[in-house]
Structure 1
Amino acid sequence: MEAFGKLAIVALVLASLASSNAQTICNMSGEGLMACKPAVSPPNPAPPSAACCSALSHADMHCLCSYRNSKLLPSMGIDPNLALQLPKKCKFPNAAHC
């Protein structure tokens, strides 16, 4: 039952991101989050797109850092270590360190 509950949560998060650009997490829209997904998905992550870096530039980095140890991210195909590299890859001058 616990695995079903986790799967339901992941499905709900993905559905809400896909269905609404008004949904935000840490000041990033669902569209912005999805723009960054190829750059944080193993095994061969793509370089972050301009849309990803633009969305990330408006993000609350301390809020995003709070997700770094989340078990939800790997279940969504997101590598937290790759996600932590995005500010540097986007060439943000004062990238927050978690």
Structure 2
Amino acid sequence: MGRTGGKVLVVHCLMRAVLFTSLLCGGSPITFCNIDTNQLNDCLPAVRGMSPPPPTQNCCDVIHQAYLPCLCSYLPVLPMFGIDPVSAVALPNKCGLETPRECHVP
């Protein structure tokens, strides 16, 4: 990858991290991947820790309305926020949806 491609990738990852930080820190809600970002808080217990509990119905409602390929594009930054990417990828299936093929743990 050339210098320009590397810089674009770094900027892209930083933008994702900044956006995700605002999501998890309770900033003003924005529409993100077809959902209100504050709704993602309903899913945090199901994706944190060694043995997270199953997702709640509220979490599954969020997952059902989300554009999952968009959410999956954020998998690489999840560990920075204490979120287990494997648990995150498992959420759609646990909520009765098929996990998109774009969703794979890096």
Q: Per the shorter chain, which TM-score range?
A: 0.7 to 0.9
Q: Which amino acid counterpart does residue 53 of structure 1 have in structure 2?
A: C
Structure 1 residue runs without a partner (length 5+): none
TM-score relative to the length of structure 1:
0.73
The alignment status of 1:32 with 2:39, answered yes or no, reads yes
CA RMSD of aligned residues (A): 2.3
Are the structure 2 counterparts of residues 95 and 13 from structure 1 closer, same or farther at C-alpha, using a change threshold of 3 Å? closer
2:82 match: secondary structure: coil
**What per-residue deviation string (whole Å, max 9, x for no partner) do you get for residues 52-77 of structure 1?**
00011011111112122x2x311111
Equivalent pairs counted in the alignment come to 86
Q: What is the TM-score with the length of structure 2 in the denominator?
A: 0.68
Give the structure with the larger helix fraction.
Answer: 2
The secondary structure found in structure 2 opposite 1:19 is coil
CA distance in 1, matches of 2:89, 2:72: 8
Q: Is the 8 A contact 1:32 1:56 kept in 2?
A: no
Residue among 3, 19, 24 paired with 1:14: 24
Answer yes or no: is the 8 Å Cα contact 1:28–1:58 preserved in 2: yes
Identity of aligned residues (%): 40
Give unmatched runs, 5+ long, in structure 2.
Answer: 1-13
Tell me which structure has the larger Cα radius of gyration. 2
Cα pair 2:89 2:99 within 8 Å, conserved: no
